[in-house]
Amino acid sequence: MSGDTRHGVGVSPGTAVGPVVQVAPPVRPPDDEPAPADAEAATAQIQAALATVAGDLDAQAAANAHAAPILKATAMIARDKGLAKAAAKHVGAGLGPAHAIEAAVAEYAAQFEALGGYFAERVTDLKDVGDRAIAEVLGVPAPGVPSLSGPSVVVAHDLAPAQTAALDRAHVVAIVTEAGGRTSHTAILAAQMGIPAVVQLHGATSLEPGTTVAVDGEAGEVTLDPDMALLEAQRERRERRAAALAGVSGPGATRDGHAVALLANIGGVDDAVAAGAQDVEGVGLFRTEFLYLSATALPSVEEQADVYRKVLEPFGSRRVVVRTLDAGADKPLAFANLGEEENPALGRRGLRLCQAKPELIDSQLAALALAARDTGADVRVMAPMVATAEEAAWFASRVAAAGLPKSGVMIEVPAAALRSRHVLAEVDFGSLGTNDLAQYTMAADRMEGELSDLLDPWQPAVLDVVAAACAGGSETGRPVGVCGESAGDPFLALVLAGLGVSSLSMAPKKVAAVRFALSLHSLEECRALADTARAARSAADAREAVRAAASPELTAVL
Amino acid sequence: MPQRTVTIASSVGLHARPAALFVEAAQGTGLDVEIGRAGEEAVDATSILGVMALGAKHGEEVILTADGDGADAALESLVALLSRDLDAEEG
């Protein structure tokens, strides 16, 4: 008999079994930390803690070639004389060792934040050193992911992007978190890695390390000490799933042959090379920010074109949809910073920034035109954060001036979806960014984990906005695709196809399941599923109703 | 005290990899080395946090000072290092 089965929310399908490895949360210095009785001893304790942290980071760097440069640089911060000196000064002023470390880190962090750009990003590394040293002086486990020696189920309160940099991907078989949501970093990471993940599992962080757990990322179940029968059933399901997914290949289509292009989301040259080798019809979202965010000056047209050629080449004559620079106050550019904003998600980001600094978009489009000419690739560019037909027309004119054949717009602002008839008339195609569309429709910050239920792409209001965008597409004869994470949910993909979406772009690992789901349903059935979803009262009801109405062949293997 | 003025050649400025390489080299001299801007208080060149907090950008002039035996030779080697685009070099 299997032990205890707990229920959370499945955010990445599949099943896996392994021992629990807990990711320790950072600890804050205790409020009642006493002033040091012996300042010299306290200073020595801080120095010893920093040395231990540096040693641990060096050891991790030696074991993990991928993250070694980051880890080595972080070890160097831990060895910094200045940090130890600053902490010693706070000990002299009467702070206990943990508070002294925290205060020293805060001083340097403030200096880096004032410098902005790349320097501000290094604050994460500095704070990581501080958190580790604080844990060391308090005698509690180091925060972050411990080094993994074999297949492991990583369990955390929630995974921050910084924590996953050092994650040994070869050994992580599943991720389970106590917090988080469908659009959280954990869900996105697990999907990229193609491993199961369960979030919002109550009591996850109190699971005993080393306990064997079986994770079902579709049902959202985690079973402690699973018995042979459960493990056997999961193994059979994995095999059935692999066989079913391997049974369909090539361009995406419904059972009755209605084409729905299956595309990859990529964010750089490595992604392009990996995705180019996959059974995908091209790229539906190429995020170009990586080229600009770490640069201190706008890269030259030739420098940009070099990178774009490398991204386009793996796709031959397949389409590559390029999203032009989506920067703003939350993703500031060192060379085009319009200053701090109270509310960056609603500020001068995306196309709005490019309208303020047209040289950015003109140089990017010139580089893309060069790369398209040299590679013969089917390049289609689209602008982020378009709200009005005027903005769409402005972008289309820039694209035409650069000599690129096709322009499009991201539909992520509800205004653009509701007025898609006019917005799409200005361009050749639209692409629904469902993550931001959900954020703006539901007025819920994507970065706020506590609001993840509101950001559920199954929210009927979000589906209504998608339907409005598709209606405008059909009226103007412009194709509308989806490039948010929702495109990779096999059940939601059916709904989107039924709403009239003509392409779905997702993490390449998700393509096979979506292709399989489409192949089991006719376009008419997809339309009926779309009606079912939109008739539901809540996101959970919509998801359940569609699952219940979808082909049993699909539910049997996912 | 021996002193040199040099222009930061690294295209990304003196942070990340360039800063780490410079600080390692400064530590390697075994001397007290400082780096700063003209007219401002210099920072300890063997401190990664100090050097990063300086925030020296590409094309900016900085002043290096060192004291002790072999200070001139040490400064020459550090000047040579800062005159290269450290970020463009693979390694």
pLDDT reported for residue B90: 41
Domain boundaries in chain A?
5-23+145-231, 39-138, 244-557
pLDDT reported for residue A114: 81
Q: How close does chain A come to B20, measured CA to CA in Å?
A: 7
pLDDT reported for residue A182: 73
Other beta carbons within 10 Å of A335 = 14
Q: How confident is the model at residue B4 (pLDDT cuts 50, 70, 90)?
A: very high
Pairwise CB contact (< 8 Å): A119 & B55? yes
Pairwise CB contact (< 8 Å): A80 & B20? no
Q: Which string of DSSP letters, residue by residue, matches A424-449?
A: HHTSSEEEE-HHHHHHHHHT--TT-G
CATH number of A39-138: 1.10.274.10
Pairwise CB contact (< 8 Å): B12 & A296? yes
SS3 A493: helix
Put simply, the chain A residues between 272 and 291 with a CB less than 8 A from any chain B CB are: none
Cα separations in angstroms, A498 against A260, A503, A528:
10, 12, 7
For this structure, is B58 an active site residue? no
pLDDT reported for residue A165: 59
Pairwise CB contact (< 8 Å): A119 & B47? no
pLDDT of residue B91 exceeding 50: no
> Which among A147, A112, A145 has a CA at the least distance from the CA of A127?
A112
Answer yes or no: CATH 3.10.129.10 is held by domain A5-23+145-231: no
What is the interface pTM, i.e. ipTM, of the complex?
0.82
pLDDT reported for residue A445: 86
Mutation target vs B (from A74, A79, A81; most B CBs, 10 A cutoff): A81
Q: Do A244-557 and A5-23+145-231 have the same topology in CATH?
A: no
The phi-psi region of residue A536 (left if phi > 0; otherwise alpha if psi is between -120 and 50; otherwise beta) is beta
The 10s digit of each residue's pLDDT in A254-288 is 999 999 999 999 988 988 999 999 999 999 999 99
- Per the annotation, does A64 bind a ligand? no
Query: How far apart (Å, rounded) are the C-alpha atoms in residues A295 and A132?
Result: 30
Cα separations in angstroms, A317 against A184, A276, A283, A288:
34, 11, 11, 20
Domain boundaries in chain B?
3-82
More confident position, B75 or A74: B75
pLDDT reported for residue B72: 93
The third-level CATH classification (topology) of the domain covering A244-557 is: TIM Barrel (3.20.20)
Any B CB within 8 A of A122 CB: yes
Any B CB within 8 A of A111 CB: yes
Angle between helices A389-401 and A358-375 (to 10 degrees): 50
CATH number of B3-82: 3.30.1340.10
Chain B residue numbers touching A118 (CB-CB < 8 A): 12-13, 15-16
Please answer whether residues A319 and A413 qualify as being in contact, where contact means their C-beta atoms are separated by less than 8 angstroms: no
User: Residues of A with catalytic annotation?
Assistant: 185, 483
Pairwise CB contact (< 8 Å): A112 & B53? yes
- The radius of gyration of chain A's CA atoms, rounded to the nearest angstrom, is 25
Chain B residue numbers touching A292 (CB-CB < 8 A): none
Please answer whether residues A50 and A133 qualify as being in contact, where contact means their C-beta atoms are separated by less than 8 angstroms: yes
Chain B residue numbers touching A126 (CB-CB < 8 A): 49
Question: Which residues of chain A carry a pLDDT beneath 50?
Answer: 1
Q: Are strands A221-224 and A5-7 parallel, antiparallel or unpaired?
A: antiparallel
pLDDT reported for residue A118: 66
pLDDT reported for residue A189: 77
pLDDT reported for residue A2: 54
